[in-house]
């Protein structure tokens, strides 16, 4: 890793997505020359990368990049990487990254190491078999594309003097933009499990959709997202977007609170890489306790209100 | 409509993973292998497109002799044709994508359906790689799909919401849960599938771009402090979250 390009995604007018800051932090740790690459973003949002030590950002500009198209973005980034002879590309393994990273690897004849959770020089560790094993993977090519699992590389403040922003004009035509995002439907007012630092999840132990207020209240206290097991999503108690697990979302928050969830392997597949896990279940034999850091054997209907009240007291709410 | 569905065989999710003596793969003894769950959605979507627009559904897999089992499942569900690219090694995602792309070029499919991820190596890589090798657009992790003439409209989950996308045929699509409800093959169809032909193609060798150096089981680093539900015990947990784990 001599010259790393980090793909940057703006979150809003003022900041980038947390996954972008995570990728910058991960890149900084290698000691390589780093260039941020973005296809959109305000001056303020791009400058915010200075907080994490970035000094250079390149903003690609082309009419075909005005409407997000994964194929056009992949082409633009590949052209830039070739023009500066970068040997390493870091992209978050989020919904955007999962579409562009494999494409870029093909364009650059590069090895692709997806979903890394540890990096070393020219190799990486990644979880496989739903976290039941991990593999040490090495790239055999001069250029390598890494996608980084979200919420694993903690973004660390490490301010640089400022970011110099320059522009890049890729060579694009209509054939590069055959797929376009036409609209985005936001889950208004809800923090998404895949972006949250703390997740409070409920399972069948909650007994009915009306009791999820217990989960929502605790989540509100902690500024957390609400998650769910497949059992309650299939029962129609909660939306599919909240499902954590093998057929739902893979999450690795700092704290995952599992309430009335048994801990089936398919659920563990989505959350066992959380930094800390608190489980609340009335059955002390429930498999969820095997992966938990902290466990409370008890009835969610009794434990959750007390837990919420104690947390409110601690947080001064 | 010419529909190509790429499928993969994976260990059952409940498998207890053990590292094989080579140190880089899983020990296959006693492991039950199944059709990758997301590929059921891909197959079902392919079959529904054929029911709507006519045409053929070809199921294709790159793998060893045992992968014929999933091709039989695909035939039982209703696929017209089954192809095995016989490759016992399946080096890396690139080598699989390359081999599929070479065969796909000879077939000119209108739609290539895949699963969003195979649940063994969880790479999420195949659909965009294959699309790029074929010079086609792709949409990953699709939970809703409509095709009208040449126009494709699809929805996919992103962080904090849903994206609505448009593209045109031919296109590569990877399926997410929610796209459809896969059919169960009926017993007579399972019996009939046993005698249907499977076309075998020898492996088209490529160099692997990435190599696995080692496989390990994660070491459990969990604190594992389980307590009762009294008020004081709950207070202790809250304190531990604050002072020991430092997460709140
Ligand atoms: C191919 C496949 C994919 C799957 N994908 C997923 C997935 O992505 N995500 C997922 O979650 N599941 C998935 N599953 C389903 C999974 O196997 C389990 O069925 C599901 O996770 C169970 O949900 P649960 O823990 O809420 O319910 P249950 O297993 O019914 O557990 C409920 C738990 O609540 C406890 N409980 C009951 N009452 C109380 C109370 N008053 N107080 C405290 N505790 C209480 C019980 O002791 C029990 O442990 C998948 C299954 C398959 C076959
Ligand atoms: N060996 C294979 N043969 C055919 N298709 C495959 C193979 N491996 C993966 N796929 C397809 O690619 C999808 C994504 O797999 P992956 O990128 O490996 O996570 C799967 O759901 C399958 O549709």
Residues A130 and A77 placed together within one structural domain of the fold: yes
Residues A26 and A166 placed together within one structural domain of the fold: yes
Residue A50: predicted pLDDT: 97
Within-domain flag for B246: no
Residues A225 and A310 placed together within one structural domain of the fold: yes
**Residue B87 CA: which ligand is closest?**
2
Q: Are B232 and B223 within 8 A, CB to CB? A: no
Q: For residue B246, give the chain A residue with the closest CA.
A: A254
CB-count exposure of residue B197 (10 Å: 0-12, 13-18, 19+): exposed
Residue B160: predicted pLDDT: 85
Local confidence band at B116 (pLDDT 50, 70, 90 cut-offs) = very high
d(CA B208, CA A143): 14
CATH of residue B175's domain is 3.40.50.620
Interchain contact, B14 vs A182, CB within 8 Å:
no
pLDDT tops 80 at residue B90: no
**Residues of chain B neighbouring A94 (CB-CB closer than 8 A):** 158-159
Residues A62 and A169 placed together within one structural domain of the fold: yes
| CB-nearest partner of A128 from B93, B120, B137 | B120
Q: Does A283 contact ligand 1 (Cβ within 6 A)?
A: yes
Residues A120 and A13 placed together within one structural domain of the fold: yes
Give residue A137's domain range: 3-176
Interchain contact, A186 vs B160, CB within 8 Å:
yes
Residue A298: predicted pLDDT: 97
Q: What is the pLDDT of residues A144-154, one digit of tens each?
A: 999 999 988 98
Residue A128 backbone zone (phi > 0: left; psi -120 to 50: alpha; other: beta): beta
CA neighbor of B183 nearest in space, from B84, B3, B82, B40: B40
| CB-nearest partner of B19 from A101, A133, A186 | A133
Residue A187: predicted pLDDT: 81
Within-domain flag for B156: yes
Within-domain flag for A82: yes
Local confidence band at B134 (pLDDT 50, 70, 90 cut-offs) = very high
Q: Does A261 contact ligand 1 (Cβ within 6 A)?
A: yes
Q: What is the pLDDT of residues A241-290, one digit of tens each?
A: 899 998 899 999 999 999 999 999 999 999 998 999 999 999 999 999 99
Residues A202 and A171 placed together within one structural domain of the fold: no
Within-domain flag for A184: no
Residues A134 and A223 placed together within one structural domain of the fold: no
Residue B159: predicted pLDDT: 87
Residues A232 and A146 placed together within one structural domain of the fold: no
| CB-nearest partner of A71 from B137, B157, B217 | B137
Interface confidence (ipTM) of the complex? 0.93
Q: What is the pLDDT of residues A11-31, one digit of tens each?
A: 999 999 999 999 999 999 999
CA-based radius of gyration for chain A: 21
Angle at A109 between CA A106 and CA A114, to 5 degrees: 60
d(CA B244, CA A27): 29
The mean pLDDT value for A310-314 works out to 96
Span from the CA of A264 to the centroid of ligand 1 (angstroms):
6
Residues A25 and A153 placed together within one structural domain of the fold: yes
Q: Does A227 contact ligand 1 (Cβ within 6 A)?
A: no
Local confidence band at A198 (pLDDT 50, 70, 90 cut-offs) = very high
Number of independent structural domains in chain B: 1
Taking CB atoms and an 8 Å cut-off, how many pairs form between chains A and B?
Answer: 269
Within-domain flag for A48: yes
A105-137 b/e with 16+ CB inside 10 Å = b? bbbbebbbbbbbbebeeebbbbbbbbbbbbbbb
Local confidence band at A104 (pLDDT 50, 70, 90 cut-offs) = very high
Local confidence band at A216 (pLDDT 50, 70, 90 cut-offs) = very high
Q: Does A160 contact ligand 1 (Cβ within 6 A)?
A: no
Give residue B130's domain range: 2-202
Within-domain flag for B248: no
The mean pLDDT value for B148-172 works out to 95
Give me A9's structure tokens. 């995604």
CATH of residue A216's domain is 3.40.50.1220
Interface test with A, best of B143, B144, B158 (most A CBs within 10 A): B158
Sign of CA dihedral A107, A176, B123, A90: positive
Query: What atom of ligand 2 comes closest to residue B125's alpha carbon?
Result: 17
Span from the CA of A278 to the centroid of ligand 1 (angstroms):
16
pTM of the model: 0.93
Within-domain flag for A203: yes
Number of independent structural domains in chain A: 2
């Amino acid at each position: 890793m001599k010259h790393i390009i980090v793909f940057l995604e703006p979150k809003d007018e003022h900041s980038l997505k947390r996954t972008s800051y995570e990728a910058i932090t991960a890149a900084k740790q290698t000691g390589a020359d780093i260039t941020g690459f973005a296809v959109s973003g305000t001056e303020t949002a791009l400058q915010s990368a200075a907080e994490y030590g970035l000094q250079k950002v390149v903003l690609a500009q082309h009419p075909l990049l005005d409407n997000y198209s994964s194929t056009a973005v992949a082409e633009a980034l590949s052209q830039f990487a070739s023009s500066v002879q970068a040997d390493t590309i870091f992209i978050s393994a989020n919904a955007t990254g999962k579409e562009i990273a494999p494409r870029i690897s093909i364009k650059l004849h590069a090895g692709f190491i997806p979903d890394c959770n540890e990096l070393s020089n020219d190799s990486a560790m990644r979880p496989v078999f739903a976290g039941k094993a991990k593999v040490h993977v090495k790239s055999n090519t001069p250029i390598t594309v890494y996608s980084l699992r979200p919420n694993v590389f903690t973004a660390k403040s490490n301010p640089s003097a400022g970011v110099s922003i320059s522009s890049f004009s890729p060579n694009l035509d209509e054939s590069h933009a055959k797929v376009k995002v036409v609209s985005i439907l936001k889950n208004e007012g809800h923090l998404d499990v895949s972006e949250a630092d703390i997740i409070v999840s409920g399972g069948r132990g909650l007994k009915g959709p009306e009791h999820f207020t217990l989960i929502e209240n605790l989540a509100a206290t902690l500024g957390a997202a609400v998650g769910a097991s497949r059992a309650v999503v299939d029962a129609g108690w909660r939306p599919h977007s909240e499902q954590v697990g093998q057929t739902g979302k893979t999450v690795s928050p700092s704290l995952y609170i599992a309430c009335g969830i048994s801990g089936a392997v398919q659920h563990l597949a989505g959350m066992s890489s959380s930094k800390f896990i608190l489980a609340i279940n009335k059955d002390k034999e429930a498999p969820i306790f095997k992966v938990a850091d902290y466990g409370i054997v008890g009835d969610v209907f009794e434990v959750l209100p007390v837990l919420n009240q104690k947390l409110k007291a601690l947080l001064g709410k | 409509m010419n529909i190509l569905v790429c499928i993969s065989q994976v260990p059952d999710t409940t498998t207890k993973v053990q590292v094989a003596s080579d140190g880089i793969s899983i020990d296959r003894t006693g492991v039950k292998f199944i059709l990758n769950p997301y590929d059921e959605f891909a197959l079902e979507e392919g079959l529904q497109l054929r029911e709507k627009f006519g045409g053929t559904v070809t199921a294709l897999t790159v793998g060893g002799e045992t992968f014929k089992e999933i091709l039989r499942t695909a035939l039982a569900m209703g696929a017209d044709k089954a192809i095995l690219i016989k490759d016992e090694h399946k080096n890396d995602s690139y080598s699989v994508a390359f081999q599929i792309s070479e065969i796909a070029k000879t077939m000119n499919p209108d739609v290539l359906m895949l699963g969003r991820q195979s649940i063994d190596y969880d790479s999420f890589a195949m659909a965009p790689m294959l699309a790029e090798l074929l010079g086609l657009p792709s949409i990953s992790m699709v939970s809703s799909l409509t095709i009208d003439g040449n126009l494709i409209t699809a929805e996919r989950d992103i962080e904090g919401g849903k994206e609505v996308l448009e593209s045109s045929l031919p296109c590569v699509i990877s399926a997410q849960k929610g796209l459809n409800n896969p059919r169960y093959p009926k017993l007579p169809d399972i019996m009939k599938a046993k005698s249907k032909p499977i076309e075998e193609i020898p492996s088209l060798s490529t160099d692997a771009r990435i190599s696995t150096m080692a496989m390990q089981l994660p070491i459990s680093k969990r604190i594992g402090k389980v307590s009762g539900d009294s008020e004081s015990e709950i207070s202790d947990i809250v304190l531990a979250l604050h002072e020991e784990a430092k997460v709140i």
